[in-house]
Amino acid sequence: MTVATQQGGGGYVERGGGGGGSSGLADVVELILDKGLVIDVFVRVSLVGIEILTIDARIVVASVDTFLRFAEATNRLDLYGKGKGGKDLTQLTQGVMEGGAKGKTSGMLDAAVDKFEEVMSSRREEREEAPRRRPRQRSREEDG
Amino acid sequence: MSATYVYGLIAADADLPEDLVGLGPSGSVSTVAHGKLAAIVSDVPMDRPLGTRDDLLAHERVVDSVVNHTTVLPMRFPAVVEEEGLVEELLGPHQEHFLAILDRLDGKVQYTLKARYEQDVLLQEILEEDEQIRRLHEQVRELPEDAAYYDRVKLGELIVRALEKRREVDAADIVERLEPFAADVSTTTPSQPEDVVLAAFLVERDAVPAFDEAVEDLGRDTHEWLRLRLLGPLAPYDFIPQE
């Protein structure tokens, strides 16, 4: 995705699309595979010799993996190393802006992949042994 | 029988930009007119399957380049017809139907807005505001990863629920702010919890500068916790009736 982050008025909005070749494949897939006029509805297609690739680029994320991704992201937050206040928030935001969308996303994906592998191996271990911990956040309600 | 690729439909008297590049071996793009309607067409590669990355990008590029010249009804990928069928089956029998849609969308373009939370900022806020999440987070932090597996799943689930609750409100706010500048809005609930909104706005060409400014204002007001991406002008993909 080629994105100009500093064009236009203030540059707070990333821009793309518009036939200039600046759309990413994901954006294009979302538009032209899911929406628009469907030719088969109007035309009895009987073409011989044309092979069409089946495309399903939509990413299905299993919910447990999504949950673990957010638990991990939360763990990476340095909650206590920073004081409260606007300054830290600004620094955080600037870091994100400087890093750019691509860097941050791929970092997140890498982390998710690492995490996924760790999770898979730890899950296998846990299946062999008995689970050592059980969720206990409901114990109070159960007692009462 | 030869195959023809159809990118979209335009009014028969409309002009095409000159530098369009099609997905067929010739690379050229032309129109076939019938009555008041014209199809934007090209040849089709016969020696390989259709549907590569380049095919998808070529389809989008042709359609969205035409947007800058005239109103276009985009076809869904892939749209292949036999050459004879183009007029006999597509443009002829469905002419009134297509003209009615074209008329309704005339003079309007689509902008797609994607908003995503700045993840760290939102997670920090959620931790500060939600005691249950904060406690679980502290508990998970102190345990070895393997031991805390179920607690980590639970923590993640609570965070995802909190995000989803927030985005309902935030998505509605975003749409409400931009709605006055659009003729129509179509929203989709994004699949990822950190994605706040995926909204298509149908905007009158004359109203584009005002809409654009409103999006920029929104970006300025929310840039500390929201990242906005605006795609467009696009063909009105989201406003084509689904048969």
Q: Which residue has the higher pLDDT, A74 or B27?
A: B27
Taking contacts as CB-CB distances below 8 angstroms, the residues of chain B near A93 are 118, 121, 223-224
* Interface with A, mutate which of B64, B160, B174 (most A CBs under 10 A): B64
**Helix segments in A33-137, DSSP class H:** 39-42, 63-76, 86-128
Supply the DSSP string of B170-215, one letter for each residue: HHHHHHHHHGGG-SEEEEE--SSTTEEEEEEEEEEGGGHHHHHHHH
Quick check: A59 pLDDT over 60? no
Per-residue pLDDT, averaged over B5-26, amounts to 94
Distance from CA of A9 to the nearest CA of B (A): 7
Supply the pLDDT for residue B62. 95
pLDDT, one tens digit per residue, over B161-176 is: 999 999 999 999 999 9
> Which residue among A20, A52, A79 places its CB closest to the CB of B51?
A52
Supply the pLDDT for residue B51. 87
Quick check: A123 pLDDT over 60? no
Supply the pLDDT for residue B234. 95
Check if the beta carbon of residue A1 is closer than 8 Å to that of residue A104.
no
Taking contacts as CB-CB distances below 8 angstroms, the residues of chain B near A32 are 56, 59-60, 63, 74, 76-77, 237
Q: Which residue has the higher pLDDT, A130 or B185?
A: B185
Supply the pLDDT for residue B242. 77
Question: Which has the closest alpha carbon to B27: B10, B40, B44?
Answer: B44
Please give the structure tokens belonging to residue B187.
Answer: 């929203």
Interface contact A70-B141, CB threshold 8 A: no
Supply the pLDDT for residue A40. 82
Please give the structure tokens belonging to residue B173.
Answer: 């706010």
Taking contacts as CB-CB distances below 8 angstroms, the residues of chain A near B174 are none
* Interface with A, mutate which of B48, B77, B94, B164 (most A CBs under 10 A): B77
Distance from CA of A64 to the nearest CA of B (A): 6
Round the average pLDDT of chain B to a whole number and report it.
93
Q: Tell whether pTM > 0.80.
A: no
Per-residue pLDDT, averaged over A69-80, amounts to 76
